[in-house]
């Protein structure tokens, strides 16, 4: 086989260890990480011992099989000398005698010594490689029936499949670890998939980007202006730009220009006309959507269209037939004010009344303007007017609770629940997200039950999740969407809350008066000044609830460390303090600050358990952040927890290091392979902090963050501080941030599609 021969030529110049399994120490079936003791038969290494521990990404090593391992010796600090495997293969017989013995063994049913000799006489010393490459060569072997030929080939594939795939992929430049990932996805179809559509690997296999797939395509003859290469470039770039920049679509000309830049080089220029032709073909094949001069990823097109359609449905099919006279509303609200000992401001009363009389309402306002107070007022007044109980105990298990409170993150939902005294959930949990590609339990065919839905922190909701939520709503449900229009947009594509506000088609109340903390609160007042594009003149002066410490970028880590030491002396813990930064890299980046703060709040000791994953060490007592939704464990992206236990591999039946994280009492076990689902959370990104509040927020602002210095980013960060805010860094950098509006200008057509849908409805009714 060509791949095999080429590898053998390469391996002739490599050192190797040849041997068989003596003892399997560890093997992980999920990621194939293997530790095994190997009895050495032969080696070109300068090594005199009779056995060695090999470590690497390998399929299960079988007893009584001989393997060739290619790699390097490495000294492990705990386990001593080991052989780190980079490539490997079974020792396939290379002589006529060896092949005859191999094929006539018990492995190959129905192939005796005479038939094995016949195969070698017909196909020669490369018989095994030839059969694996093209099983039809067995048709040339006399007296070998089709059934036995098929069984022989299937047995060879089973015996050599993984190794042959890895050998072949090595020829294309893939290391063992990445090759094993590819094999996990495609199995025996790996080589066929790679040859037929190498660009499929981009979406199917983690760790393979366009450049690697493009290099693979070039090695297979898919290069230059080949249609398959152009099509792959279009799909890749469209998906990448929408995900990275938050766009719902790309303008047609922009996509063609950027694809040309992506695919062209010194040797070839990809013409825009060729790209346009392939975009049109992809549209015809429903691989993407071309609408006028806009190009959409399929899922984003249907999400935008679906959301506009369902918003229209909710607005025109208002099931709220029970209207209440203003006198009844004022009576119910007055009783609530008396019970709570408060008096709602005129704008808050307007918000409550509008919410209760509209199928959908938008409520927006900055920090301290009373959004949470209004939410409680809506819920309590709704219950009074409709004569329903707000005590969950009054409802049987099968009875729907009338009021649904949700937010995008677990922490935001918890805040909502604390403020109202009612159950609140993440949107994913409410919709019954099952994880992976399984989708949601709730949809148009299995809608939610209840009569009032309030969604908080809507600015964090992307177009996909908003569409999923609205298609699961029954016609009669009233909906209140609450958020701060000046905060950062969603991490995912779209700017749903902003678009709905700009559409001016849904009843909206904007809260502007400041109530939280006491009027004139220093943090809140600063936030509102920032919204208007300027800083208070006393920004550098020490206030009861905020400070500014001037320093250069290379001093940030020292300043933050000193601030945290002083806070610790006053009794504050790592749970009370959240450092926020906009970037991961650099000496004032999240990664460096996390290590510094971990060593300060939770230093390494001989008694403290610790495991390492990648570049990160995790210790008992560390504060961590959940990075993905895990519905089975009731833990969601953005949840903050504490490592309460660590178990080493030798201590549990799974033979793998594990750590246990407590999220407000919910304990989740993470095998080592799943530690990419969490990260240290002493310092986190401002995006990740949305929906949360912390007693103390420390936020460095320096020119090194220049690309991220924007008003809505800094505004979002400072509004996470509940009691005390500390800014440190360069005043000039803070000024730059306040002067710069968000320049992303996300491409979206939601407001236009909503307007068109409602205007068409008005024409139909006329």
E-state strands within 456-590: 478-483, 508-511, 546-550, 577-581
From CA 648, how far away is CA 646, in angstroms rounded? Answer: 7
Alpha-carbon span 209 to 212, nearest angstrom = 6
Give the pLDDT score at 754: 93
Distance set, CA 725 to CA 151, 522, 714 (Å): 72, 9, 12
Q: What percent of the chain has pLDDT over 90?
A: 46
Q: What is the pLDDT of residues 263-284, one digit of tens each?
A: 998 788 999 999 999 999 999 9
What does the pLDDT read at residue 5?
38
Answer whether residue 15 shows pLDDT above 50: yes
Q: What is the pLDDT of residue 71?
A: 87
By mean pLDDT, which of 244-248, 271-275, 688-692, 716-720 is the weakest?
Answer: 688-692
Residue 319, pLDDT > 90, answer: no
CA 709 to chain centre: 24
At residue 397 the predicted structure's pLDDT band, cuts being 50, 70 and 90, is: confident
**Best-predicted range by mean pLDDT (285-289, 430-434, 740-744, 754-758):** 285-289
**How many degrees, rounded to 5, is the angle at CA 44 between CA 40 and CA 46?**
90
pLDDT of residue 311: 95
Q: Where are the beta strands (DSSP E) in 648-690?
A: 658-663, 666-671, 678-680, 683-685
Residue 141 has pLDDT above 60, yes or no: yes
pLDDT at 1: 36
Q: Which of 25-34, 506-515, 548-557 has the highest mean pLDDT?
A: 548-557
128: Cβ contacts below 8 Å, ≥ 6 apart: 92, 93, 99, 102, 103, 156, 160
Tell me: pLDDT of 725 over 70.
yes
CA angle, 339 as apex, 335 and 344 as ends, to 5°? 70
Q: What is the DSSP string of 290-348?
A: EETTEEE-HHHHHHHHHHHHHHHHHHHS--------HHHHHHHHHHHHHHHT----HHH
Work out the burial of residue 24: count CB atoms within 10 Å of its CB; fewer than 13 is exposed, 13-18 middle, 19 or more buried.
middle
- The whole-number average pLDDT for the span 732-753 is 86
Are 383 and 332 contacting, i.e. CB atoms less than 8 angstroms apart? no
Give the percent of the chain with pLDDT over 70.
92
CB 199 within 8 A of CB 206: no
In degrees to the nearest 10, what's the CA dihedral of 611, 612, 617, 620? -10
Q: Is 472 helix (H, G, I), strand (E, B) or coil?
A: coil
**pLDDT band of 3, cuts 50, 70, 90:** very low
Give the global pTM.
0.79
* Cross-strand pairs, 33: 57
Residue 762 pLDDT greater than 70, yes or no: no
The confidence band for 2, taking pLDDT boundaries of 50, 70 and 90, is very low
Q: Is the pLDDT of residue 93 over 80?
A: no
pLDDT in tens, 335-390: 999 998 888 989 999 999 999 999 999 999 988 888 999 999 999 999 999 999 99
Alpha-carbon distance of 109 to 234, in angstroms, equals 50
Integer Cα distance of 696 and 682 in angstroms: 12
> Helices 298-316 and 463-471, interaxial angle, to 10°?
40
Q: What's the average model confidence in pLDDT over 692-704? A: 92
Helix axes 590-601, 556-569, angle to 10 degrees: 30
- pLDDT band (50, 70, 90) for residue 10: very low
| Closest listed residue to residue 255, CA positions, set 284, 223, 291, 226 | 291
User: To the nearest whole number, what is the mean pLDDT of the chain?
Assistant: 87
pLDDT at residue number 579: 96
Among 176-185, 609-618, 679-688, which is the least confidently predicted range?
176-185
What H or E segment, with its residue span, contains residue 734? helix 731-739
User: Of the ranges 312-326, 439-453, 654-668, which one carries the lowest mean pLDDT score?
Assistant: 312-326
Residue pair 572/696 in contact (Cβ under 8 Å)? The answer is yes
pLDDT score at 291: 95
Q: pLDDT-based confidence at 742, cuts 50/70/90?
A: low
Per the DSSP assignment, residues forming a β-bridge with 662 are 642, 667
């Amino acid at each position: 086989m060509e791949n095999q021969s080429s590898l053998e030529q390469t391996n002739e110049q490599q050192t190797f260890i040849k041997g068989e399994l003596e003892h399997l120490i560890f093997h992980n079936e999920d990621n194939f990480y293997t530790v095994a003791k190997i009895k050495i038969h032969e080696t070109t290494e300068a090594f005199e011992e009779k056995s060695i521990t090999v470590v690497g990404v390998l399929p299960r090593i079988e007893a009584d099989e001989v393997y060739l391992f290619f790699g390097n010796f490495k000294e492990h600090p705990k386990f001593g000398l080991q052989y780190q495997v980079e490539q490997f293969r079974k020792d396939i017989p290379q002589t006529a005698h060896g092949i005859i013995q191999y094929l006539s063994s018990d492995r190959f049913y129905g192939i005796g010594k005479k038939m094995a000799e016949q195969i070698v006489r017909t196909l020669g010393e490369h018989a095994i490689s030839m059969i694996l490459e093209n099983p039809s060569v067995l048709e040339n072997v006399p007296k070998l029936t089709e059934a036995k030929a098929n069984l022989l080939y299937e047995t060879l594939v089973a015996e050599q499949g993984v190794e042959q795939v890895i050998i072949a992929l090595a020829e294309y430049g893939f290391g063992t670890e990445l090759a094993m990932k590819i094999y996990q996805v495609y199995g025996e179809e790996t080589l066929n998939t790679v040859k037929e559509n190498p660009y499929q690997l981009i979406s199917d296999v983690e760790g393979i980007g366009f450049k690697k797939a493009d290099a693979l395509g070039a090695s297979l003859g898919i290069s230059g202006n080949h249609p398959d290469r152009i099509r792959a470039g279009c799909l890749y770039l469209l998906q990448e730009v929408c995900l990275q920049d938050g766009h719902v679509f790309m303008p047609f000309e922009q996509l063609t220009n950027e694809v040309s830049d992506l695919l062209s080089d010194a040797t070839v220029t990809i013409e825009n006309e060729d790209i346009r032709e392939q975009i049109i073909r992809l549209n015809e094949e429903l691989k993407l959507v071309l609408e006028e001069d806009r190009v959409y990823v399929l899922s984003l097109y249907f999400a935008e269209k679906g959301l506009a359609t369902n918003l229209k449905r909710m607005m025109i099919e208002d099931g709220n037939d029970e209207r209440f006279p203003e006198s009844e509303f004022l009576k119910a609200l007055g009783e609530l004010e008396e019970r709570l000992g408060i008096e709602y401001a005129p704008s808050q009363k307007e918000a409550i009344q509008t919410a209760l009389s509209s199928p959908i309402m938008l409520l927006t306002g900055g920090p301290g303007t009373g959004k949470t107070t209004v939410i409680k007022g809506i819920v309590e007044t709704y219950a009074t007017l409709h004569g329903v109980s707000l005590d969950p105990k009054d409802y049987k298990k099968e009875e729907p609770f009338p009021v649904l409170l949700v937010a995008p993150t677990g922490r935001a939902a918890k805040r909502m629940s604390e403020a109202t005294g009612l159950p609140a959930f993440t949107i994913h949990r409410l919709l019954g997200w099952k994880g992976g590609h399984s989708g949601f339990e709730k949809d148009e065919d299995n809608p939610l039950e209840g009569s009032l839905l309030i969604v908080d922190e809507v600015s964090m909701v992307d177009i996909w999740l908003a569409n999923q939520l609205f298609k699961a709503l029954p016609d009669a449900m009233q909906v209140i969407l609450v958020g701060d229009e000046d905060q950062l947009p969603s991490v995912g594509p779209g700017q749903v809350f902003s678009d709905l506000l700009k559409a001016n088609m849904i009843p909206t109340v904007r809260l502007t008066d400041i109530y939280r903390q006491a009027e004139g609160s220093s943090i809140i007042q600063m936030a509102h000044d920032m919204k208007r594009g300027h800083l208070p003149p006393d920004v550098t002066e020490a206030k009861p609830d905020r400070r500014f410490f001037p320093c250069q970028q290379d001093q940030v880590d020292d300043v933050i460390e000193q601030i945290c030491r002083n806070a610790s002396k006053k009794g504050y813990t790592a749970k009370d303090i959240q450092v926020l930064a906009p970037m991961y890299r650099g000496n004032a980046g999240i990664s460096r600050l996390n290590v510094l703060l971990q060593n300060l709040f939770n230093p390494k000791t001989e008694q403290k358990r610790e495991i390492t994953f990648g570049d990160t060490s995790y210790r008992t007592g560390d504060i961590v952040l959940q990075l993905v939704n895990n519905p089975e464990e009731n833990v969601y992206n953005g949840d903050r927890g504490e490592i309460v236990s660590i178990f080493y591999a030798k201590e549990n039946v799974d033979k793998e290091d594990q750590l246990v994280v407590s999220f407000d009492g919910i304990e989740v076990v993470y095998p080592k392979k799943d530690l990419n689902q969490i990260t240290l959370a002493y310092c986190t990104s401002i995006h990740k902090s949305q929906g949360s509040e912390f007693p103390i927020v420390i936020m460095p602002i320096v020119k090194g963050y220049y690309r991220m210095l924007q008003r809505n980013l800094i505004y979002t960060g400072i509004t996470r501080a509940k009691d005390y805010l500390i800014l440190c860094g360069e005043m000039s950098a803070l000024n730059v941030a306040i002067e710069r509006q968000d320049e992303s200008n996300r491409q979206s057509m939601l407001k236009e599609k909503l307007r068109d849908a409602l205007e068409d409805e008005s024409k139909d009714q006329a």
